[in-house]
Structure 1
Amino acid sequence: MVNAIKGLFISCDIPMAQFIINLNASMPTSQKFIIHILDNTHMFVQPHVAEMIRSAVADFRDANSYEKPT
């Protein structure tokens, strides 16, 4: 018998994958969202966390962006 799990496939570069893995590690056990890490740049996560990941990545990107002083 085949077991199927609904999820979201994420493809990204290595630093962003590490960011998502660390985000998952910082969550309590009951809220961990990574189903399977396929390789360095691909992972399978629970579908309900898509917006949370997008938001965390946007916050991270905004916090680490250089703005030229005026």
Structure 2
Amino acid sequence: MVNSIKGIFVSCDVPMAQFIAHLNNSSPSSQRFIIQILKLDTICMFVKPQAEQIIRSEVSKFRDQLSFAKPA
């Protein structure tokens, strides 16, 4: 019998993969979303579909924190 799981394929660089893995690990066990991590040319993850918006918003917040304005 074949088992299938619906999910979203995420491809990113190593630092972003570590950030997403941290989000997953800091969530309660019932809300963890990473199904599989694949190490190809880049880091690829297979995540649960309901996690897409959470990942997008947290990555956006993370990028905003790392933004620097040129001094005047």
TM-score, with length taken from structure 2: 0.91
Post-superposition CA distance 1:23-56 (Å, at most 9, x none): 1011000100000111261010000110110000
- Counterparts of 2:2 and 2:38 in 1: how far apart (Å)? 19
Q: Please list every run of at least 4 consecutive aligned residues from structure 1 whose deviation after the TM superposition is greater than 6 angstroms.
A: none
Query: Number of aligned pairs?
Result: 70
Tell me how far 1:69 sits from its aligned partner: 3.1
Tell me how far 1:9 sits from its aligned partner: 0.4
Superposed CA RMSD in Å reads 1.0
TM-score, with length taken from structure 1: 0.94
Q: Which runs of 5+ in 1 are unaligned?
A: none
Q: Secondary structure at the match of 1:17?
A: helix
